[in-house]
Structure formats: structure tokens, C-alpha cells
Homo-oligomer: A and B are copies of this chain.
Amino acid sequence: MSRVLFIGLGNMGLPMAKNLVKAGHHVFGFDLSELAMENFSKAGGFRSISLNTEIKDVDFVITMLPSGKLVSDVLLEKNALFKEAREGTTFIDSSTIDVDTAKRLAQTALERGHFMLDAPVSGGTGGAALGTLTFMVGGNIATLERARPLLEAMGKNLFHAGEAGTGQIAKVCNNMLLAIHMIGTSEALNLGKALGMDPKVLSEIMSKSSGSNWSLNTYNPYPGVMENVPASRDYAGGFTVDLMNKDLGLAAESALRSKTPIPLGHGAMDLYRVHAQMGSKHLDFSSIIQFLRPLD
């Protein structure tokens, strides 16, 4: 049983923190939303009263925040938890942030005598609730082993990606690839349909052929082909266009810095940008198939 300070009880963070409680850990939860803290309390967690005090009593700090700027604020600048924490505290950042910030934070943690993992997740709010998230973890393997019980309380798959920052690298590369094959799958299904073919039959054939991919096989964007996916409920819920835009922005930033050509990655980013701007920000990202439908 560990003592944990969990910062960021949003759509993802709250169910994750609850799963830690359920697994028997002692968890202080913090969020700017009073309502989120109340919900967490009802689930058996403790409301954080003073980060600067609680930080001294915990073994683990988990951050689940919407941007690298905020993570940096909490750990380094405003709240300066790196400074306030006892030496040897383990920090796990499960936010999806840029690689440079992740590496810098890990470096600073090390200099202060702490341990740090970047451990972004995939699996969405559904996976967060069910405790079936995938963690892509960058950092020292011994630290990962020490954090394993916590991570396994929240997720099902645990990948060690390499040294500090590689968790974020894996996440950003994976999600760029996801965006690309989601759009590719949408184009293929739209084209097949326009030429006169049943999207369901086409999906079955391609999923067993070289076109096979996660978007096609498990998250089919064509309405009616698959049950229990966003396409079958008007693209409500799921992984929003907004979140995909955030991840594609991180990919583009990384590509800029490393001078890597990502023609289809950029194509995907601009399509999702325009799609969002046309009023689809809060739809699931598989709704791109509608954006790309053939001209009448």
C-alpha cells in the first residue's frame, strides 16, 4: 500500500485516482474543481488541503494535467513540488506533453534526488474507468518496477519505452500514426462505398488483408459497421477531435525540432484542424469520415 498525491482529477485523472483507492492505496487528490475533489472524496479518496504539506508525506506523486506548461508549473515553478518533496520521492507524469519538457523535468527530478517516470496513457476515459489503460513509460527500469503496483491498478498494459522522455515519444508517434490510419481507413471506406460496395463487407475483407489496422478493425468509422463504437452513436464520446489535435500538434512540434518530414502527419493535422473549426471539436476523432465524404 502506497501513499500517493494525485494531481489533476479531470475526465481521465478522476477514474484513474479512484482505481488507486480501490486497490487499497492512500490517495490525496487535487484539482481546481471543487466538484471533482468532492467526487473523489465520495469514492474513498482524500481531498488535498495543502499540497506543500502533503507532499512531504507521500511516496508517489502522479500528475495528469492538460499541458506541459501546467506540469512544469506544479513540479518546478509555482508549486515547486520538486523542491518541497522529501528526497527520493517518485514522480509519475501521466499527462501527454512535449518530449523536451518531459526530458527536462526528469533531469531536474534527478538533480534533486528524486525519481521520475513519464508515463502517458492510451485507452481513453473508458480505459481509465475500467482500469485497462496502456502506459508507455520512459525512465529508469528500477523506478518502473517500484511504480508497477500503482500502474497496474490503473492499467492493463505496461510498456517500458526506454530512458526518460521515451514514454512521450512513443505516445506522440503512436497517436500520429493512429490519426493517419483513421483518415486512411475513412478514405478507403468512403471510396469503396462511392464505387458501390458495402462498407461492412469491405471492412471485413481489408481487416483480413494488408489494409488491416486498429482503426478499421476495432474502431470502425463507418456508421453501422460495428456496434459499440462512436460511429454508431453519432460520434459522441470517445477520443475527441480536440484531443487528437493536441497530440498532432505535439507530433508536429517534434518533427519541426528534429527536421523529420511527416507529410501525412501534417496532412492529418491540417484536416483535423479544419474539421474542429467546422464545429466538430467535441466529436470523436473517427467523425473525420464525415468530413471527407464524397461530393454529391
Contacts and interface: CB of A to CB of B under 8 A. Distances in A.
Main secondary structure of the interface of A (DSSP, over half): helix
A166 B196 contact: yes
Interface stretch (A21-29, A39-47, A246-254): A246-254
A interface residue count range (under 10 / 10 to 19 / 20 to 34 / 35 or more): 35 or more
Interface in A181-240: 181, 183-185, 187-192, 194-198, 201-202, 204-206, 208-216, 219
A181 B213 contact: yes
Nearest to A195: B169
Interface stretch (A109-117, A139-147, A273-281): A273-281
As for how many copies of this chain the complex holds, the number is 4
Given A191-B265, A263-B271, 10 more contacts: A134-B208, A161-B201, A173-B189, A176-B184, A177-B187, A183-B263, A191-B262, A194-B254, A210-B215, A261-B292
20 contacts: A157-B208, A159-B204, A172-B191, A173-B192, A173-B202, A174-B210, A175-B210, A176-B191, A180-B184, A181-B184, A190-B261, A191-B265, A194-B259, A210-B219, A253-B256, A260-B295, A261-B274, A263-B267, A274-B274, A276-B295
Interface of A: 99, 122, 134, 136, 157, 159-163, 165-166, 169-170, 172-178, 180-181, 183-185, 187-192, 194-198, 201-202, 204-206, 208-216, 219, 245, 249, 251-256, 258-271, 273-274, 276-278, 291-296
